Amino acid sequence: MWRAMVVMVMGVMFVAGCGSASWKPRDVSDLGGQRADYLVVTDRDAYELRDAVVRGDVLSGTVVHAWALSARISSRSKLPNLSPETIAERLGWEPFEHPATVAIPTQRIVTISRHEEESGTGTVLGFGLGLMLVVGALVVAGAAWQPSCGRPLRVRGRRCVTPLATTDEWIADVEVAPVPAPVLPILRTVWTQEAQAEHAAIAAFAKLSLELIALGAPPDLVIRAHRAALQEVQHARLCFGVASAYAGTKLGPAPLPEALEGDTVDLDRVAREALLDGCLREGLAAEIAATGASTAIDPAIARVMRIQAREEAQHAELCWAIVEWAIGRGGEPMRDMLLGQVSRAAFPRCDDLPEYGRVPHAVVAAMHAALLERTRQRIRMSGLPTVRLAA
């Protein structure tokens, strides 16, 4: 894991040293009344703002991009001198649909950078150290990357994560083998994140089934969405069982009120989420779980990952059926839209611990690249007539 992190930071340092513009950390108290472009990180969101200004205790501006954080950033962290999009990609932030303008109370701002023009190259070491501080804070918090399994629950574009509670109601009986002390915090964090993601996925598939009904989808898609939700119940219980075993305490889900929040029915959005969250995210998750199961030395962990691999692959195929149905409904504009979305596929958290079922970054990166290419090809071919050769 640490080798992969060092490689990532070195790569960022190289890229960062070539720009002529910089994003420099600022204190909120020093912003003054002048308009500027900012990258603002709050307790749960990040915004790239254009022509923003502080008036009283509020920073207002035009929103260029908005992201949901994968984990909270410490107020002691300074953002690196990189473009907002690069930071978001490196730290696993998820974009969400945003208003044209936003007004942010300054007390909510955790850290902020201002866009400034420079001549010449920046100080590469400073850039790399800045990102290392932010990434380090997130790794300690346990969420530098998104979990690999579980369809995200999205409400108006924002990914909703199940909070934790002390309860044994969701704990399946999983007896894990002892692990070395240095590895234990990583596995505890990883499996807790997986459990939270799998629990939120129950609501995500329940929501999907209702949206399919609202859009007039065929019954097979609705049946499969309900089946997937029930499978996610088992996944969540297994993951909470593993997480609780590693944590030495009872871990379970707290109430998730966002499960009842809906979106306007929109075929484009349903197809886009099916592609990104199902075909790509769950398709990759199935491959990762299958590989992790084959390398894990603990039979209990291998068993859980084999279940995930089999059923996440089924969820990915359900989402392919939704994508193909949507292309049939939306025609070439739908196909073109989906092709344009493929490059937005999120990259999951990776830990170089294959003996504990955690697949190394280099292996996942190869899987990810191959899956993106297969996905583009499948979208291009979807709905096209099959040519049968004469015997």
CA gap 276, 159 in Å, rounded: 13
pTM: 0.66
As a whole-number percent, the residues of the chain with pLDDT over 90 amount to 53
CB 330 within 8 A of CB 267: yes
pLDDT in tens, 183-225: 999 999 999 999 999 999 999 999 999 999 999 999 999 999 9
pLDDT at res. 125: 42
Q: What pLDDT, in 10s, does the model give residues 224-248?
A: 999 999 999 999 999 999 999 999 9
Nearest to 96 by CA among 153, 54, 134, 51: 153
pLDDT computed for residue 117 by the predictor = 59
Residue 256 has pLDDT above 90, yes or no: yes
Q: Of 194, 236, 134, 190, whose CA–CA distance to 352 is shortest? A: 190
Fold of the domain spanning 153-381:
Ferritin (1.20.1260)
For residue 33, is pLDDT > 80? no
242-246 contacts at long range (C-beta below 8 A, 24 or more positions apart): 242/174, 242/176, 242/191, 242/194, 242/195, 242/300, 242/301, 242/304, 243/188, 243/191, 243/192, 243/194, 243/195, 244/168, 244/171, 245/174, 245/175, 245/176, 246/176, 246/179, 246/184, 246/187, 246/188, 246/191
Q: What residues does CATH 1.20.1260.10 cover in the chain?
A: 153-381
In tens, the pLDDT along 125-177 reads 444 444 444 444 333 333 334 666 789 998 887 888 899 999 999 999 999 99
Q: How far apart are the first and last CA of the chain?
A: 54
Looking at the predicted structure, is the pLDDT value of residue 379 above 80? yes
Could you give the angle at the alpha carbon of 141 between the alpha carbons of 277 and 278, nearest 5°? 5
